[in-house]
Amino acid sequence: MIHRTLRLLLAVFVAMLLASACGGVDSSIAMSGSPGVDSDSPAHDGPSRIVSISTVATEMLFAIGAGHRVVAVDSMSNFPSEAPSTDLSGFEPNVEAILGFAPDLVILSYDPGDVVASLDVAGVASLLLGAAQTIADTYSQIEALGAVTGDQDAAATLVAEMQAEIAVLADSVQSRDEPLSYYHELDETLYTVTSTTFIGEVYALAGLVNAADPADPDGSAWGYPQVSAEYLLDADPDIIFLADTKCCAQDVAAVAARPGWANLTAVSRGGIVELDDDVASRWGPRIVEFLRSIVEAVNAIDR
């Protein structure tokens, strides 16, 4: 069941990327209806009942201080712990179930077809925040949420703090004559990411070279190619980051036990890094935490 869910997540994420790519620079953000927020109104004079069908939006809402107005979130929104989790699906949003919480604003990361239109017919405003392709998209989405909830100042402060922390972390990376290479594992069937994704952009801040870039030279996999064991054995990355510790029970021992992998530089020299799947895949406020994990791992490599 976990593996099926992971495949569905990847499929939905690629669909979100396709939708974003067709709409231009601001295509990751789309507003429908109006939650009644006036740009000249005082802070917090916004929607009083928010439903978030987006793990990333849920994290952003709580980070800008709008969490107390969130009355329901989807089943995958597991952070922060005080988020009012329900069985609402983010993969197949059910309009009737969403309307059952009497929202005046619904935040989604994905619309499979007619959810936004149905909410509009019901007189409920919605904000569609698609998959981020860059870190800049993260900042734009936080600011968009701040604008629609009336928390503009808090959103601006959060963005400024994130930018400052990221700059400090990037500056703290140990200087090397030759950059280290890495492989980011999405699951044990060897789906990964390239430098063209927001995840790859975070790694680039730590001065790393992505060993998977040649696997998607024309972008046909939208930056999320599946590689082979032979490919990785040949690439021999210096560091392997596991973003499948929770979904797929992968860890240092599991990787070292794979046929032929014991000879990999990352395995033989202690370069396996276990990440929190959620932190490593969500483009919200915790990208700072994600970068910190990367920088600490890079600076710990003595070569």
DSSP 46-104: S-S-EEEE-HHHHHHHHHTT-GGGEEEE-TT---STTS-B-S--SSS--HHHHHTT--S
Alpha-carbon distances, residue 140 vs 10, 57, 146, 277 (angstroms): 23, 12, 10, 23
Topology adopted by domain 2-152: Rossmann fold (3.40.50)
Assigned token pair, 183: 């492989």
Share of the chain above pLDDT 90, in %: 80
d(CA 133, CA 251): 28
> What is the per-residue pLDDT across 5-57, written as a single tens digit (0 to 9) for each?
444 445 445 545 444 444 333 346 777 776 654 434 444 567 999 999 999 99
Length of the chain equals 303
d(CA 164, CA 148): 24
Check if CATH label 3.30.70.20 holds for domain 172-300. no
> What is the per-residue pLDDT across 165-194, written as a single tens digit (0 to 9) for each?
999 999 999 999 999 999 999 999 999 999
Q: Tell me what pLDDT residue 206 has.
A: 98
Q: Does the fold of domain 172-300 match that of domain 2-152?
A: yes
Domain boundaries, the chain: 2-152, 172-300
> What is the per-residue pLDDT across 254-303, written as a single tens digit (0 to 9) for each?
999 999 999 999 999 999 999 999 999 999 999 999 999 999 999 999 76
pLDDT confidence bin for 110, thresholds 50/70/90: confident
Share of the chain above pLDDT 70, in %: 86
Return the exposure string of 204-233: e unless at least 16 CB atoms fall within 10 Å of the residue's CB, then b: ebbbbebbbbebbeeeebbbbbbbeeebbe
pLDDT confidence bin for 112, thresholds 50/70/90: confident
